Structure 1
Amino acid sequence: MKLHADRPDQYSITSYGEDWIAVNGQRHAGSLIISSDTGVRSWSCPSFEQIAEAHFQELLLPATPVPELVLFGSGQRLRFVHPALLRGLIGQRIGVETMDTVAACRTFNILAAEGRRVTAALLVGA
Structure 2
Amino acid sequence: MKLQPDRLDVQSILGYGPGWVGLGREGVAEKIEHSVVIGSRGEKFDWQCTRFEQLTAAHFALLAETRPELVIFGSGARLRFVPPAFLRALMEQRIGVETMDTLAACRTYNILAGEGRQVIAALLIETEGTEA
Counterpart CA distance in 2 for 1:16 and 1:105 is: 8
Counterpart CA distance in 2 for 1:45 and 1:95 is: 22
Aligned length, in residue pairs: 120
Structure 2 counterpart of 1:111: 112
Aligned-residue CA RMSD in angstroms?
1.6
Counterpart CA distance in 2 for 1:18 and 1:33 is: 17
Residue 80 of structure 1 aligns with an amino acid whose one-letter code is F
Greater CA radius of gyration, 1 or 2?
A: 2
Q: Deviations over 1:36-82 (max 9, x none)?
A: 01232211122111110001112134xx5x11100000000000000
Counterpart CA distance in 2 for 1:20 and 1:5 is: 25
**Contact 2:35-2:49 at 8 Å conserved across structures:** yes
What's the TM-score, normalizing by structure 2? Answer: 0.85
Extract structure 1 runs of 4+ deviating beyond 6 A. Answer: none
Structure 1 counterpart of 2:43: 39
**Structure 2, unaligned runs of 5 or more:** none
The Cα of 1:8 is off from its aligned counterpart by: 4.0
Residue 74 of structure 1 aligns with an amino acid whose one-letter code is S
Give identity over the alignment, percent. 55
Q: Deviations over 1:66-116 (max 9, x none)?
A: 111000000000000000000000110000000000000000000000000
Counterpart CA distance in 1 for 2:109 and 2:17 is: 16
**Contact 2:72-2:109 at 8 Å conserved across structures:** yes
**Contact 2:79-2:100 at 8 Å conserved across structures:** yes
Counterpart CA distance in 2 for 1:6 and 1:68 is: 25
